Amino acid sequence: MRPTKRIAVLALLCAAAACTRADESSVPQYGIGKPATDSAVAAMNYDISGEGAELPAGRGTVAEGTALYAAQCAQCHGKNGEGAGPGLPALVGRDPKGEQFQFANDPKLVHTIGNYWPYATTLFDYIKRAMPLNAPGSLADSEVYALTAYLLAANAVIPDTTSLDAATLRAVRMPYRDRFVADDRKPGAR
Amino acid sequence: MTDHERSTGDTQPSLSRRDLLAGAAGLIGGAALAGLPLAADGQSPTPPIAIPQNAVQPTPPMRPVAPFDATKRLGAPTAQVGSRSEFYAPTRTPFGDAVGSSLSPLQDLTGTITPADLHFERHHAGIPMLDPDRHTLTIHGLVDHPLTFTVHDIKRFPQVTRTHFIECSGNGAAGYRDPKPELTPQRVAGLLSTSEWTGVPLATLLREAGVRPDAKWMLAEGGDACLMARSVPIAKALDDALIVWAQNGEPLRPAQGYPLRLLLPGWEGNANVKWIRRLELGHQPWMTRWETSKYTDPLPNGTARIFTFEIDAKSIITSPCAPQSLVEKGWHSINGLAWSGRGKIARVEVSTDAGRSWRDAELLTTPQPKATVRFQHMWHWQGDEAVLLSRATDDAGFVQPTRTALIAERGIGTSYHYNQIVGCKVARDGAVTFHGAT
């Protein structure tokens, strides 16, 4: 190959490479896999993020949640959410005067929803996702709202009279949310 | 230790004078308590010998009886699936719960690879039974082409094989909070295992879907009964994350995520979502139950670190260890495992004087990123009391701290990421106990 020709070929190759790079984010490379339709994705996506934008329609009261808790949750988590050992964690427990997020200094301080969880929306997400343990995914959205309401009220986060829906749940701010900090350890630190 | 247990003496071949002498020597040296095999001539183990048992000893499992001379008897035939020697029966520590863990028997393992059936377990809603012909992985959210892959599809992509450890970030709580002398390596650090994994780089799949520039986080969701979900920064997903389907030369074990799992090399076990079925790309972390109420690290100043993904530099001596006993004075191999989620292990030091002096240990395997290495230090025990410790340093500059330093930094009540220096104490009579007060 003559030098001029070689340069021309190289230029073409470079252009092709640049083209590939530019389109990397949008062009399938191997063409393997099938398009996931919106309905297929919706059928498996129950995510409720911290902001709660995805919260569904429905509504539940503390009173409804109290009855549901007794029927579906108390057998594992205790009559009053006190828990039953590893794997069956405590849910309820607030001592606003005493707890003060001193978990690192006091190994006996039990983590509960009220004294630890940073986001109320996480309760909805988790209950809908995983509870009850022996029948996950069996609760209707209104029942999940009711249980979320009961657990927040039992932890003195919201009043007993609350009726929870998407808007009111989004507005709940957990007591210790601002205690969570990013991991900023540098090399050599602990 | 089952392979070390000695029979209480039932059907025995006739004893030679040499055997009796060896047995007597064992008694004098404390071997009756330790139950370690003896070699009278330094070449071949002696056959089992009837040794009177101390009444306070726990009853050991019955030791198998081998032919007195295996060279004079036809051996066993071939088999479809092999099994371990009857003299070696390591076990995990299941509690029998669907929500719980089971620890890998580190003291019974050598090298760095964990046999798949002894890999530690941690499940949050049991082990699902998933049909590989029906299981799929869907990528959606902030992508140009939402895609669903079958397991078969995943295997068509160019594959990679890499060795990485997985460690549950709760590993070591017992040795940190309450370092009791009877703790074994299994109890101290058994939520650690290492495998050779085979799969496809997640970056390959994400390029197929077309990641949008504003995608910063990815929710990884499993197909178990709690739909385990963790938020992962997109940078990690595009860096060295893998979707794996095989472990140590065979498909993943169900307990390890069959048929597909997310592998985030060097990151806390929980984020390596098993039975992976869905990856959603978004702007922010989702704040799931596991990454907020669980895998966060309380600090003494009344805050808690969130998204502490990386596993800190860490090591543990697995031999000698509690509840063994050293029988003979003289040379012993102090060896164990070291690992870091931030890169390669750069150095492992061993102390035989409770940390007053340290010596570089030999690394028996070539350090690989985010993988365990086995270290060794040859030690001449002269029958004195000794405290043996190991200390790892990684190539990111992290050095394993003492328990005292870690408590000062994190508090005795902190949760997760316990990487304090630990070791063992050898008593004058050879008894080995856990030493956690460093």
Decide if B169 is inside a domain: yes
Answer yes or no: do B263 and B292 share one domain: yes
Tell me which residue range forms the domain holding B8: 1-89
Does the distance separating the beta carbons of A111 and B125 come in below 8 Å? no
Residues near B76 by beta carbon (within 8 Å), at least 6 away in sequence:
none
For residues B117 and B109, give the distance between their C-alpha atoms in angstroms, rounded to a whole number.
12
Decide if B96 is inside a domain: no
The ipTM is 0.86
Phi-psi region of A92 (alpha: psi -120 to 50; beta: other; left: phi over 0): beta
- What is the token pair recorded at B177? 């909070």
pLDDT at B47 over 70: no
Q: Are strands B160-167 and B192-201 parallel, antiparallel or unpaired?
A: antiparallel
| CA dist list (Å): B262 to A36, B4, B237, B252 | 20, 38, 10, 12
> Which of B305, B324, B343 lies at the terminal end of a domain, its last residue?
B305
Residue A94 CB neighbour total at 10 angstroms: 16
CA distance A31 to chain B (A): 7
Residues near A67 by beta carbon (within 8 Å), at least 6 away in sequence:
none
Residue B182 CB neighbour total at 10 angstroms: 9
Answer yes or no: do B300 and B318 share one domain: no
In the structure, how many helices (H) and strands (E) does chain B have? 9, 23
For residues B389 and A188, give the distance between their C-alpha atoms in angstroms, rounded to a whole number.
20
Query: Band of the pLDDT at B56, cuts 50, 70, 90?
Result: low
Answer yes or no: do B178 and B270 share one domain: yes
Residues from chain B contacting residue A81 (CB–CB below 8 Å): none
Residues written for chain A: 190
Q: In chain B, how many domains are there?
A: 3
Answer yes or no: do B299 and B341 share one domain: no
Answer yes or no: do B335 and B186 share one domain: no
Decide if B198 is inside a domain: yes
For residues B294 and B307, give the distance between their C-alpha atoms in angstroms, rounded to a whole number.
11
pLDDT at A39 over 50: yes
Task: Please tell me the predicted confidence (pLDDT) of residue A190.
Answer: 53
CA closest to A90 among chain B residues? B293
> Which of B251, B278, B305 lies at the terminal end of a domain, its last residue?
B305
In the structure, how many helices (H) and strands (E) does chain A have? 8, 4
For residues A158 and A61, give the distance between their C-alpha atoms in angstroms, rounded to a whole number.
11
Answer yes or no: do B277 and B332 share one domain: no
DSSP track, A29-97: SS--SEEPPHHHHHHH-----TT-TT--S--EEHHHHHHHHHHHTHHHH-TTS---STTS-------TT
CA distance B254 to chain A (A): 20
Residues from chain B contacting residue A27 (CB–CB below 8 Å): 210
B329 at A interface, C-beta within 8 A: no
Q: Are B421 and B401 in contact (CB under 8 A)?
A: yes
Range with lowest mean pLDDT among A15-24, A45-54, A107-116, B368-377: A15-24
Share of chain A above pLDDT 90, in %: 74
Mean pLDDT for the stretch of residues A87-108? 89
Does the distance separating the beta carbons of B412 and A107 come in below 8 Å? yes
- What is the token pair recorded at B198? 């085979």
DSSP track, B274-302: SSEEEEEEESS----HIIIIIS-EE-TTS
Span B337-360, pLDDT tens digits? 999 999 999 999 999 999 999 999
Span B222-251, pLDDT tens digits? 999 999 999 999 999 999 999 999 999 999
A-B Cβ pairs (cutoff 8 Å, strict): 188
Span A140-178, pLDDT tens digits? 999 999 999 999 999 999 999 999 999 999 999 999 999
| Of A104, A109, A136, Cβ closest to residue B125 | A136
Decide if B273 is inside a domain: yes
B358 at A interface, C-beta within 8 A: no
Find residues 378-437 of chain B whose CB sits inside 8 Å of chain A.
396-399, 401, 405-406, 409-415
pLDDT at A188 over 90: no
Span B133-157, pLDDT tens digits? 999 999 999 999 999 999 999 999 9
Sole residue written with tokens 């197909």: B223
Mean pLDDT for the stretch of residues B58-82? 90
What value does the mean pLDDT of chain A take? 87
> Which of B256, B283, B305 lies at the terminal end of a domain, its last residue?
B305
Decide if B346 is inside a domain: yes
Answer yes or no: do B141 and B253 share one domain: yes
Q: Are strands A180-182 and B304-306 parallel, antiparallel or unpaired?
A: parallel
Mean pLDDT for the stretch of residues A44-55? 96
Residues from chain B contacting residue A49 (CB–CB below 8 Å): 282, 284-287
Q: Nearest CA to A152 among A109, A95, A91, A107?
A: A91
- What is the token pair recorded at A124? 């909805």
For residues B289 and A155, give the distance between their C-alpha atoms in angstroms, rounded to a whole number.
17
Decide if B104 is inside a domain: no
Sole residue written with tokens 């009111």: A168
Decide if B97 is inside a domain: no
> pTM (2 decimals)?
0.86
Span B22-34, pLDDT tens digits? 333 333 333 333 3
Does the distance separating the beta carbons of B284 and A51 come in below 8 Å? yes
Answer yes or no: do B154 and B290 share one domain: yes
The residue ranking higher by pLDDT, B63 or B141, is B141
Answer yes or no: do B39 and B185 share one domain: no
Decide if B98 is inside a domain: no
Does the distance separating the beta carbons of B293 and A33 come in below 8 Å? no
| CA dist list (Å): B153 to B200, B206, B210, B349 | 11, 14, 17, 46
Answer yes or no: do B319 and B277 share one domain: no
Apex CA A36: angle with CA A33 and CA A39, to 5°? 160
The CATH number that applies at residue B414 is: 2.60.40.650
Answer yes or no: do B287 and B241 share one domain: yes
End-to-end CA distance of chain B: 26
Task: Please tell me the predicted confidence (pLDDT) of residue B59.
Answer: 63
Answer yes or no: do B133 and B162 share one domain: yes
Which domains are seen in chain A, by residue range? 54-179 (1.10.760.10)
pLDDT at A189 over 60: no
Span B251-264, pLDDT tens digits? 999 999 999 999 99
The CATH number that applies at residue B300 is: 3.90.420.10
Q: Nearest CA to B137 among B277, B347, B292?
A: B277
